[in-house]
Amino acid sequence: MTVEALAGPDERLPDEAAGALQGVAATIATAIPAAMPAGPTADLDAAQDTAPAADRAIGVRMIDGGIIEVVLPPNQEIEGPEARVAGDAVRALAAGRRMPVLLVITGVVGVSVEARQVYTGSIAATAFALVGDGPVDRVIAHYLLRSRSETIPAQFFPSEPAAVEWLRQYAREE
């Protein structure tokens, strides 16, 4: 699994994040394959490796209004290494600031305990809005919300526009 193109609102990388993201790219190339299990699941891993990279990518980008959007890939199990790489990308885009995070989980198969700890332990988020459109998405969202910090507001939404509207109250004007 990879993190796809990281860009600011103008589709360019923020200057202050560029150096940090070079390290993220190196982590993608080395950490993810090393974390893949061997043995009985190797056939499943090989099948996933043949899927287009875009189908397995965690998307991280800045959207209008100073909100960071993280889109988890549908039909995938999110593991700790992928979550850490995406977390590094979020911190790089936030550039030392705390910002609201839109986490799109539509169609995700599951989230490991390690990945859940990464998302719920974020120090870059002022608030989390989780978006999903089905009953499985709602269950995964509540699994993530159950372990979150009580100091960071978080809520599940069935639509992105409603989630973005709610997150705007946590965005800082700059």
What does the pLDDT look like over 22-33, one tens digit per residue? 444 333 333 333
- pLDDT value at residue 146: 81
For the chain, helix, strand, coil in percent to 5 are 45, 20, 35
User: Does pTM surpass 0.75?
Assistant: no
Highest mean pLDDT among 48-52, 55-59, 95-99, 150-154: 95-99
pLDDT tops 90 at residue 17: no
CB 100 within 8 A of CB 152: no
Q: What is the mean pLDDT of the chain?
A: 74
Q: What domains can be seen in the chain, in order of their start residue? A: 15-170 (3.30.750.24)
Amino acid at 173: E
Distance CA(92)–CA(85), nearest Å, equals 11
Does the pLDDT value for residue 53 go beyond 80?
no
Average pLDDT, stretch 48-75? 79
Of all residues in the chain, the percent with pLDDT exceeding 70 is: 65
Confidence bin at 170 (pLDDT 50/70/90): very high
Q: What is the mean pLDDT of residues 122-141?
A: 90
Task: Write the CA distances from 154 to 20, 29, 103, integer angstroms.
Answer: 27, 32, 10
Cα gap 3→66, rounded to integer Å: 20
